[in-house]
Amino acid sequence: MRNLAVYSMGIMNYCSHDPACCLLKVHDNNIEVAYAEEGFLSRKKKSYQFPIRSMKYCLDYFGIKLSDINVLMLDYMDHKRTFKTSNNYRLLIGDFIRSRLRIDSSKIKFVRSHHYAHALTAFWPSPFEEAAVLVVDGLGSQQQTTSIFSFNTKGTNKLLFEQKGNGIGLLYSLITKQLGFGSGEEGKTMGLAPYGALVDKKFDNYLNLKGTRKGCVVDYSHLVDRSPTAKLKVEIKKPTKKTDVYKDYYTKIAFDLQNETEECLTYLALEAVKKAKSSNLCFSGGVALNCVANNKIQNLSEINNFWVQPASGDSGIPIGLALAGLEEIGIDLKTLMSRKNRDVLSSAYSRDHSPLNNLVDLKVKKLLSENNIHIEKFKPEQIAKSLIKKQIVALYYDGIEIGPRALGHRSFLADARTPKMKDILNAKIKHREGYRPFAPIVLKSDFRNYFISSTDDHPYMLQAPRCTNKALNNVPAICHVDGTARVQTITSENGIIFDILESYKEICGESVIINTSFNDNDEPIVFSKIDAICSFLRCNADVLILGEKIIERQKIPDIHNFKNAAEKLQKKIMERFFDDSIKELTKILKKDKAKTLLQFINLNAELSKIHRIDRVISNFIEFLLLRNINKSIFVDNYHFKIINKLINIFGLQKKDICPKIKIIEDNFKSISEIKEDSDFVLYNISAHFLNKYTRNLFNNPDSLVSFYKLSDYKINLENFDSKEKFFVKKNKEVVDYIKNTYEHNTKVSIDKFFRDFIKY
């Protein structure tokens, strides 16, 4: 009798900027993968939505219901629970949806940590039998920033080191935001950085972005306050308009930040292989998308083999969660992970050749017919000739990329032999900042003719090797200002993009073309055929490859009407899919009133405010009044001011609550100044004290008491402003939150509420 199939689903448990779902099917010791990002289906980039659509998509792929899965594996922020995984974050519509999923609660499990999920995605798809695994991102479970693991195929894995509080990921994100870029747009800062290489002038308040290093720690507490009150402690002037980032001041900041990132990551890479006693390194976490730093790690002599997870950011977390789910229900990964199954996991493409085909294919066929669209059969030599004529080609081919890089299945393709093509693409197609580089795609067999690297294997566009003189002279459009290029190598296994490039080389002699993601600016990569048609029409590309068919823009009888009809169909399909997702996977009924949703958001916004503001102040007062005044208390200037405010407000005497007060800096270098048998109120230092991997840096840590806990917000000094109420924002925060996000019509049904007020 054959074994029944087992299904493990992974989703993030809180609202992520890159929500996604992964569903793994294990049957007869074979593994199959269904995966989708929520933004693919909602057409919203960095959406923070709950992945209800991608959950339905994965279930539909295998033809099962939510009740059929064996485990739903979640990660967590501060607490292993489905309700309020962190007290610091207001609950959104996504949390409301999650709380009403149609699933047996006994099937819901929690991963060891966010970083462990990252580590699983880094090791098991890699080609290694054993490796050090480095995870670096902005924020993981309980304020994780850096983790080092050792893994092997015998089933042994161990957490060797963990840093909490702040790290290079947090610094990079905060400075990116200060430069005027949005959440998840660190790549824009990386692209801007080379323009600051030649800026040698000194500016007022020049920033030294160097981190403090000790062992595996690289700390930036002198520059930033840790999460959850993440903010810069140093002043950076914010641009008044988008074009300001071209000025020397901003390009210099971007350059220094990128340079520090490269130094930090190469340092951590060396520490990781040393600690794990391995010369193989796997890398994951959002910071692993820094392709310039990755290439420097690749070239380190101490590292023999290097592998980066293509979906290394939070969009890849569900893959790791689904793997952890298999572990949870007793499936031994060391037995399951044959080379064949590991190759399935390492594929950069989904297995679905026609996403949403039951909703899309027939309707698209009808759309093309009704608009008299001329269809031709795909011929690689024809596409090559179009590229040589400087036409822009949109490529939609079997399987969508997993991860943020376009890898020749959802790509815009263009000739790279003229520098002007970069400007043409930015203006005509991508509608984005002119300084941002475009990546090359190259035949792997010709890689060394154009690029310099210790390996010719770059399948995922995750490194930026240096360009050779031939590349600089013959294909200048793909060379960034610093002489590097974020390259992808391809072979016949990559599908028709290989045939196109072979034909292109045969005609013009070069085997490099521009490859950039098939999407407009601030739009996710296209997912279904209707998404491809709509994006093609909006972005003014010349040719659309739709599987084995070709549509030429110049042969479309009425582009305006065709575009309107396509966008109308796209919206209809998206609304239908979302409605079905809510209906099939949740207990939300059409008769339910939106008032229920608003009560949910309103109450939890208030509870979060209490936790973040009121509770921490109340606890601090208790801490001061109940502590042993014979012990020293170490504070920084910020908290010294707060103590003085409280003394004035309550008419206290300093000698009665903290006669032995010592003022030091709240950064990593000050740890040694904290004497044993003391109390301290130091927000950033507390993260190291509460971490078992760095606690031994303190003098007799068991004799010390920290006021702050890892999940605490930093006390806001503004709450003590005499012009304000003692606890400010009592109701305003809740009102503004609802008004500025999801409206407040309490009379309509939830079905209509979602339909009218969630913007697709």
Token pair 């059409």 in the structure block, residue: 590
Is a pLDDT exceeding 70 seen at residue 227?
Answer: yes
One domain, residues 438 and 477: yes
Maximal C-alpha separation, the chain: 87
Q: How far apart are CA 188 and CA 237, in angstroms?
A: 18
CA pair distance 660, 514, nearest whole angstrom: 65
SS3 state at 518: coil
Residue among 134, 133, 130, 135 at smallest CA distance from 155: 130
Residue 192 belongs to some domain of the structure? yes
Looking at the fold, whether 529 and 674 belong to one and the same domain comes out as no
pLDDT in tens, 363-389: 999 999 999 999 999 999 999 999 999
Highest averaged pLDDT of the listed ranges 13-27, 195-209, 396-410, 658-672: 658-672
Is residue 267 assigned to a domain?
Answer: yes
Count of CA atoms in the C-beta half-sphere (13 A) of 475: 31
**pLDDT on residue 401:** 86
419-445 per-position pLDDT tens digit:
889 888 887 776 667 677 889 999 999
Is residue 293 within 8 Å of residue 482, measured between CB atoms? no
Sheet with 108-110, edge to edge strand ranges? 30-37, 20-27, 6-11, 71-74, 108-110
Among 421, 443, 453, 455, residue whose Cα is nearest residue 512: 443
Q: Using the structure block, give the residue that is written with the tokens 């919206």.
A: 571
Q: What DSSP string runs through 32-81?
A: EEEEEEHHHHH--TT-----HHHHHHHHHHHT--GGG-SEEEE--SSSSS
What domain count does the chain have?
Answer: 4
645 located within any domain = yes
- Residue 430's pLDDT is what? 67
Tens digits of residue pLDDT in 625-670: 999 999 999 999 999 999 999 999 888 888 989 999 999 999 999 9
- Whether the predicted pLDDT of 757 surpasses 80: no
Does a structural domain hold residue 729?
no
Same domain, 139 and 81: no
The full DSSP string for 185-220 is -HHHHHHHGGGGTT-----TT----PPEEETTEEE-
Residue 638, domain extent: 627-720
d(CA 297, CA 281): 9
pLDDT above 80: residue 704? yes
Cβ contacts of residue 549 below 8 Å, gap of 6+? Answer: 375, 376, 377, 378
| pLDDT band at residue 751 using 50, 70 and 90 as cut-offs | low
Do residues 113 and 73 lie in contact, with contact meaning Cβ atoms separated by under 8 Å? no
Tokens encoding 744: 């407040």
Q: What is the mean pLDDT of the chain?
A: 90
Residue 314 CB contacts under 8 Å (≥ 6 apart), including other chains: 12, 16, 17, 18, 20, 137, 286
In degrees rounded to 5, what are phi and psi of residue 350?
-70, 165
Q: Mean of the pLDDT values across residues 739-757? A: 51
Q: Is 155 helix (H, G, I), strand (E, B) or coil?
A: coil
Instruction: For residue 345, give Cα distances in angstroms to 326, 350, 499.
Output: 14, 10, 25
Last residue of a domain, one of 520, 549, 580: 580
Domain shared by 173 and 46, yes or no: no
- Are both 139 and 67 inside the same structural domain? no
pLDDT in tens, 162-218: 999 999 999 999 999 999 998 788 999 999 999 999 888 777 777 889 999 999 999
Q: What is the CATH number of the domain that holds 73?
A: 3.30.420.40
Instruction: For strands 440-443 and 488-490, give the pairing.
Output: parallel
Cα separation values, 695 from 530, 660, 698, Å: 55, 24, 6
Do 207 and 111 fall into the same domain? Answer: no
- The average pLDDT across 523-529 equals 93
pLDDT higher than threshold 70 for residue 759:
no
pLDDT digits (tens, 9 = 90+) for 483-513: 999 999 999 999 999 999 999 999 999 999 9
Going by C-alpha positions, the residue among 396, 394, 427 that lies closest to residue 409 is 396
Query: What's the Cα-to-Cα distance from 229 to each of 6, 146, 406, 683, 684, rounded to whole Å?
Result: 41, 18, 34, 9, 10
Q: What values do phi and psi take at 394, rounded to 5?
A: -100, 125
User: Within a domain: residue 736?
Assistant: no
Calculate what percentage of the chain has a pLDDT beyond 70.
93
Is 221 a residue whose pLDDT tops 90?
yes
Cα 168 from Cα 287, distance rounded (Å) = 8
Give the whole-angstrom CA distance, residue 747 versus residue 321: 39
The kind and range of the H/E element at 633 are strand 633-635
Q: Which of 112, 105, 113 is nearest to 82 (CA)?
A: 105
pLDDT digits (tens, 9 = 90+) for 272-320: 999 999 999 999 999 999 999 999 999 999 999 999 999 999 999 999 9
For 95, half-sphere exposure in the C-beta direction (CA atoms, 13 angstrom radius) is 23
Please compute the mean of the pLDDT values over residues 250-262 and round it to a whole number: 96
DSSP reduced 3-state for 484: strand
234 and 275 within one domain: yes
pTM for the model stands at: 0.93
Chain segment 67-92, per-residue pLDDT in tens: 999 999 999 998 898 877 788 776 67
Residue 546 has pLDDT above 60, yes or no: yes
Do 157 and 85 share a structural domain?
Answer: no
**Which of 687, 704, 720 is at the close of a domain?**
720
- Whether 197 is covered by a domain: the verdict is yes
Q: Are residue 273 and residue 378 in the same domain, yes or no?
A: no
* pLDDT at residue 606, as a whole number: 80
Tell me which of 42-46, 192-196, 539-543, 545-549 is least confident.
Answer: 42-46
Tokens of 243: 């074009």
Residues 281, 324 share a domain? no
Neighbours of 403 (CB within 10 A): 22
Give the integer Cα–Cα distance in Å for 207 and 144: 25
- In this structure, the answer to whether residues 458 and 324 fall within a common structural domain is no
Q: Is the pLDDT of residue 721 over 70?
A: no
Q: Check whether 727 has a pLDDT greater than 70.
A: no
Is residue 621 pLDDT above 70, yes or no? yes
Place of tokens 């491809």: 532
The torsion angle over the Cα atoms of residues 366, 367, 370 and 375, rounded to 10 degrees, is -90
The SS3 of residue 750 is helix
Is the separation of the CB atoms in 168 and 104 below 8 Å? no
Closest to 683 measured CA to CA, from 721, 635, 751: 635
Measured CA to CA, the distance from residue 616 to residue 453 in angstroms comes to 52
Residue 429 neighbours by CB distance under 10 Å: 25
331 and 387 share a domain? no
- The better pLDDT of the pair 425, 515 is held by 515
pLDDT at residue 5, as a whole number: 95
**Is 749 part of a structural domain of the chain?**
no
What is the pLDDT at residue 752? 64
Q: Could you tell me which of 301, 302, 285, 292 has the C-alpha nearest to residue 263? A: 292
Q: What is the mean pLDDT of residues 153-157?
A: 90
Q: Quote the CA–CA distance of 77 and 164 in Å, as a whole number.
A: 13
* Percent of the chain clearing pLDDT 90 (strictly above): 73
**Could you give the angle at which helices 637-650 and 616-626 cross, rounded to 10 degrees?**
80
